[in-house]
Chains A and B, each alone.
Chain A
Amino acid sequence: MSAARADWGFPTPLENVSGAVAIAGVGEADHTKASGRTPKQIAAQAIERALADAGLTPGDVDGLMYTPFDGQQFTAGDYRAHFGTRHDMWVSTQGGGMVWAGSAPHEAGLAIRAGRARAVVNVFSVAWATQRAEMVGGPGEVHAQELFKQNLEVPFGWFPQPVYFATIARRHMHEYGTTPAQLGAIAVTCRRHANLTPAAVLRDKPLSLAEYLASPPLCEPFRKEDCCLISDGGGAYVVTSIERARDLRQPVVEVAGVGVGNSRTGAYWSQQGDITSTPQVFAAPGAFRMAGLTPADVDVLACYDPFTIVSLMQVEDIGFCRKGEGGPFVEGTTLHFDGGRLPYNTHGGMLSHAYVLGIAHVVELVRQLRGEAAAQVPDARVAVYGGYTGPQASTLILRRR
């Protein structure tokens, strides 16, 4: 990366929370195609399951985190109404899915350390399969609502996200020699993992590399299989202090490190200084420093994956291979759960498991570290979630104690 491009983003300074908190419970709602459920109903199911998993009651939870981006997320008011609780809760809107599924444990850690909460639920849910027809460009609607995009991008048809990232993928192919078959290797691996995961939406749909390459172009160089599925679903996890986690029923999954990186051009990918990178380049170093670990220590990785190219860039940018070498790196069985160098999206990811914007990735990693995942990586001790939104990325490092 040239010196001029190295300045295209920056890390968010974070306080050191390493070893202070743990993810003590995880839960997922049912992931389905259009179901007629609302995001709040889905969120309630995910939280119920996370509490049961942790061995906590609704009254034990005194903190809630969510993403206020669509007006449909589960709030503290919803919590009290659904669970019949009356106590005050610490609330943060710096939670939920996407980048925040990775950074929420840091915010929760600060609140727990300051005595503002003892058990914090982070929850995210969508019903975009149900709602898709009413959304302008489906999940692209939030981008169409942004006025610079609405006036300078959408009129040209550079919309929605599949077109952004197909454009970025072509550039990555030009700059580094990445090939369609290498993107296909990511799609095929994630599908294989989904085929092994009972809760995955595409559990019954196998995909071979030959089938991927034969699939017709959608927005070149992307095929349909380069793009995540759209589904209704959600997930939640519970953060407590390490001491509290030791007293609860699950093996302790410690938050070892957190990092957040930012692009100076926000959500305008068209203007991003280094368009073939993600803000993980600014997030990952701080996370590994906080954890006292390196990418070589990582047993399993799960990245926010709306498109194959987004997986590939994050694998490079978090530091598992050199920039530009992501293509050769992901070929063959590198990413497979059983014997791969870097087991990846072992539940199938957003490509093949569910489109719940990363919350299910963190749930899967916690299960991996407990030894209870479907496509279980032998003796997984260190797991990393790469979260992403556009303006920001997060690196969350979890460790089994």
Chain B
Amino acid sequence: MKFRDDFPLPDTAWPPTREFWAAAARGELSLPRCDGCQRFVWYPDGACRRCGATSRTWTVLAGRGRLFSWSVVRRAFIPQLEGDVPYVAGLVTIDEDPAVRLVTRIVDADPAQLRIDMPMRVVFRPLRFAGVPRTVTAPMFTPSHA
């Protein structure tokens, strides 16, 4: 399979996640909420797993969550990540529903100070990759001391 020229930037036009990236460009964290049962549908890869409804509404979140787990990545597994290592990538749950986990970067934090269940808040940063001229604004998380 040939990947897009700007891989690994997200394809912000891809319909299932287009609104996620559009909201990020506006500085908002937004996820789809099932119109049938109000549960967040993540990933939005089909009907709601709980009630089967297919209609959903993208909903802006407070941007607060908890650190579920992470890894400090010290090797670039693809050349585009050469400029990033070492970096921290992991999973953050959202306060609105702890069963929903966002894959994200953990930024502005000393990895040695990270703790599971630590409160986190969203920040918006550009995704910037070696050899890729464009950037895309993405939701990332940092420890929130509030």
Contact = CB atoms under 8 A, between A and B. Distances in A.
Sort chain B's interface into a size bin: 35 or more
B43 A163 contact: no
A155 B6 CA distance: 11
Interface in B111-139: 111, 116, 127, 136, 138
B71 A167 contact: yes
B91 A167 contact: yes
Nearest to B116: A174
B116 A157 contact: no
Q: Count chain A CB atoms within 10 A of each CB in B1, B10, B68, B71 and give the residue with the most.
A: B71
A136 interface: yes
B107 to A, nearest CB: 11
A271 B101 contact: yes
Interface in A199-219: 216-219
Contact of A156 (B43, B116, B138): B138
B89 A218 contact: no
* Chief secondary structure at chain B's binding surface: mixed
Given A137-B77, A156-B89, A156-B105, A222 B16 contact: no
Interface in B35-84: 42-43, 45, 49, 68-75, 77-78, 81, 84
Interface stretch (A84-92, A140-148, A283-291): A140-148
A166 B71 contact: yes
Given A163-B71, A167-B91, A171-B116, A271 B43 contact: yes
Nearest to B78: A137
Interface in A102-150: 136-138, 140-141, 144-145, 147-148, 150
Contacts of A166: 71
A157 B75 contact: no
Contacts of B1: 141, 145
A270 B103 contact: yes
A155 B43 contact: no
B10 A151 contact: yes
Contacts of B20: 152
A170 B69 contact: yes
A227 to B, nearest CB: 11
A153 interface: yes
Interface residues of A, number: 42
Q: Count chain A CB atoms within 10 A of each CB in B7, B9, B103 and give the residue with the most.
A: B103
A171 B68 CA distance: 7
A138 B116 contact: no
Given A137-B77, A219-B75, A151 B11 contact: yes
A160 interface: yes
A156 B128 CA distance: 10
Nearest to B91: A270
B78 A158 contact: no
B91 A140 contact: no
Given A136-B3, A151-B10, A174-B69, A157 B81 contact: yes
Interface of B: 1, 3, 7-11, 14, 16-17, 20, 42-43, 45, 49, 68-75, 77-78, 81, 84, 87, 89-91, 99, 101, 103-105, 111, 116, 127, 136, 138, 140
Interface of A: 4, 136-138, 140-141, 144-145, 147-148, 150-160, 162-163, 166-168, 170-171, 174, 216-222, 264, 268, 270-271, 273, 275
**Complex A-B, nearest 10 residue pairs according to Cβ-Cβ distance, in ascending order:** A166-B71, A171-B69, A220-B72, A158-B89, A151-B10, A154-B8, A153-B103, A174-B116, A219-B73, A219-B71
